Structure 1
Amino acid sequence: MTETDNKVVSIIFDLMGTTLEQSAEKKPGTRAGRPNYPRELRERLAAAACEPGVSVAKLARENGINANMLFTWRRRYLAEQQAPSAGLVPVVLLSDTPTEVVASSPGESRAPDMKPASPVGTIEIRIGRAVVKVDGLVDADMLRTVLGSLRS
């Protein structure tokens, strides 16, 4: 390594708050030949590898680890960042006024200017490009069935 490369490596270590010697310390009970890097170091390097314009192979080389290992850490880090949370989802109420349902017998004719009665409720669920829309009377059992089918 040239002197400039050594300076760059030391700057990176200073920014990360660790040194290779600190991260590679042998801990009792660890297997020889397969280092167990601290989780903080793995996450810091994976986050650094996600930055635009960063060469993952060069970053791995500068930190004395295998590039394939850093690629694996980065893939896991990105998966954790994109993992869906089990929290609440936003709900938008389009109209809070209930619509009126008018029952009519099959033989009864409607006036030409009357529109058919609109359904009582609508549930619309958007997941990515998929849209599930349920019109009409929607009770708890129907909602359970629709949401259960989305899981599978």
Structure 2
Amino acid sequence: MDTNFQPIISTNARGHYRQHPLEFKRALVALSLEPGASVARIARDHGVNANQVFSWRRLYEQGRLGVPALMRDDGLLPVVLASTVPAPSNDTANANGIVVLELGEVRVRIEGQPNASTLAQVLDRVLR
């Protein structure tokens, strides 16, 4: 029988914690939000604990990972209304509108009077 009566003295009280960059966290959250994804498998494949990935998902949903929460339970995207565009005038010949769509790092600006089919094509491409 091996008995050791000397106390174990550790110089590091808590050990070394890895600091993961935001891009890494966002990438794992994106992978975990895909339909049919296994958080445990994603965490194991990337060398982190599954509980950590769930924690990052909560932070992402709260918008605390540096980007606004785009995945919400109601399926809606956040919309910001800006008052920089003047109100439309009664003169339809000179009326020019501006539509600005921002989704993450993608920004689409449409000027003039686009018809409904043009807007439908733009929205179809942007929201894919």
Which bracket does the TM-score occupy, shorter chain normalised?
A: 0.3 to 0.5
Instruction: Output the TM-score relative to the length of structure 2.
Output: 0.41
Q: Which has the higher helix share?
A: 1
* Structure having the higher Rg: 1
Instruction: Output the TM-score relative to the length of structure 1.
Output: 0.35
